[in-house]
Amino acid sequence: MAVLPDGSRRRFDDLISHTKEIIQDSCRIRAFVAFFGVLQDCFRGEIPPKADVLDIYGRIVTNSFNIMNEEFQSIGVGLYLQASALDHSCRPNATVCFEGRHCIVRTLEDTELKPLREAFTNARISYCNLLNPTAGRRKILREQYYFHCECEACLEGDTGLEAKKVACMRCPACSTGIAVDEAKREAIKCLHCHLEVPSDHTAGYWRLRDEIIEKIYKNVDGHPEPMEELGRDYLNDMCQFFHPCEKYYFDVLEAVFEVQLNNGQWGEAIDSGRELLVAYQELYPRYDTNTGLLLLKLAKMELLLGKFLEAYAHVKVAFEHLCVTYGEGHPFVKSTVLDLRAEIESEVKEIHKEERQRTKSPQIQNQQQPGAADEKILVHNQSG
């Protein structure tokens, strides 16, 4: 049993089991049958009836959290009665982080003046990847949690930033993302620089997009690893025509970025990471763990390659994000993040020190350079 900030008590029995939905879900029910078989083998019949186990199973799989390590990688699954009371929104105002197995809910807004009860009641977290377009998010939520999302973002549909996730062309003049209509495929104008986008650029975008959908997403040629392998082949062309906010380009960027990291291709990974950062900063909430960790990765690689000023700019913003989403007192922030920032700051101070010395050097030389009158005195002293 857990006591919520509003004073109410929450028990395991209060969780919704979604038994009917799971029975109709072919994937979930197969997983349950396999799970039940393992229980029978382990406990040799000393288990509750199958219907009761299904009820328990449903409450767990639809209310559990992935326990994430400091790098935001899943290391386990846990059921937290208090945190499970939080509803979903595709525009969350709160987030969940972990210290070991301890689950911590942190607000993304300033709630100092709000009572804890009110802050918790109004808190909304995200159950899914916010970079997916509306239809994709709703599909995942329906399949995993059995509800149709009607949050503010989903009700607005594919407009504004949501439209960019569906189809987003890069302006050839200013590189701004231009949301385009897949059905119409008509001539467009950049709202940022007011360029009438050339027809050959528009045609190139749609031609490349259609080819990528066929070869990478539909995998018509049966390539064993289309995203990682073919993605690298298409990356340069996609960079010319696609804006990072578009789902297709974003997916390819993420896959290629991970390959580059694993292979130690720091220069290429920095280029891909900076492209990803454009989408992260535009599509994620103002403060977000994913954005903070990406900034941290960029800062580490830039430090290795001696790009100290770029590294310093990125680690500062990473610290701002992670102080909000993890908290200043989180071990990861106090050790890893602050240690990296200190190391980069030390390199930046050396750069500034060298610059000051170079600036002073000509002045010192000018002060020491003897004039005509001084030369006479020197000669006179030598001859005397």
72 has pLDDT over 90: no
Could you tell me if 194 and 299 lie in one domain? no
Could you tell me if 250 and 300 lie in one domain? no
Identify the band that residue 366 occupies on the pLDDT scale cut at 50, 70 and 90.
Answer: low
Amino acid 335: pLDDT = 92
Q: Which domain holds residue 60?
A: 2-130
138 has pLDDT over 80: yes
Residue closest to 241 by CA, chosen among 200, 204, 195: 204
Could you tell me if 250 and 295 lie in one domain? no
| Angle value at C-alpha 134, between 227 and 239, nearest 5 degrees | 40
The answer to whether residue 87 is domain-embedded is yes
Of 187 and 270, the structure prediction assigns the larger pLDDT to: 270
Could you tell me if 291 and 264 lie in one domain? no
Asked if residue 148 lies in contact with residue 172, where contact means CB atoms within 8 angstroms, the answer is no
Amino acid 378: pLDDT = 37
Last residue of a domain, one of 102, 130, 158: 130
Q: What is the pLDDT of residues 180-236, one digit of tens each?
A: 998 888 889 999 999 999 999 999 999 999 999 998 888 877 777 768 777 888 999
Average pLDDT, the chain: 90
The answer to whether residue 236 is domain-embedded is yes
Could you tell me if 21 and 100 lie in one domain? yes
The answer to whether residue 383 is domain-embedded is no
Identify the band that residue 374 occupies on the pLDDT scale cut at 50, 70 and 90.
Answer: very low
pTM of the model: 0.88
The answer to whether residue 28 is domain-embedded is yes
User: For 234-247, what is the mean pLDDT?
Assistant: 94
User: What's at 198, amino acid-wise?
Assistant: P
Amino acid 368: pLDDT = 56
Q: Is 66 helix (H, G, I), strand (E, B) or coil?
A: strand
The answer to whether residue 31 is domain-embedded is yes
The answer to whether residue 325 is domain-embedded is yes
Residue pointed to by tokens 């977000």: 288
CATH number at residue 310: 1.25.40.10
The answer to whether residue 199 is domain-embedded is yes
Could you tell me if 293 and 326 lie in one domain? yes
| Angle value at C-alpha 184, between 181 and 186, nearest 5 degrees | 90
Could you tell me if 45 and 112 lie in one domain? yes
CA 91 from chain center: how many Å?
14
379 has pLDDT over 60: no
Could you tell me if 211 and 304 lie in one domain? no
% the chain with pLDDT above 70:
92
Task: Report the domain count for the chain.
Answer: 3
Asked if residue 72 lies in contact with residue 135, where contact means CB atoms within 8 angstroms, the answer is no
Could you tell me if 253 and 295 lie in one domain? no
Residue closest to 182 by CA, chosen among 160, 165, 161, 199: 165
The answer to whether residue 345 is domain-embedded is yes
Helix 266-283, helix 289-304: angle, nearest 10: 160
Could you tell me if 126 and 221 lie in one domain? no
Of 29 and 184, the structure prediction assigns the larger pLDDT to: 29
Last residue of a domain, one of 243, 270, 297: 270
Q: What is the pLDDT of residues 273-332, one digit of tens each?
A: 999 999 999 999 999 999 999 999 999 999 999 999 999 999 999 999 999 999 999 999
Amino acid 337: pLDDT = 97
Could you tell me if 191 and 235 lie in one domain? yes
Strand duo 124-125 + 87-88: pairing: parallel
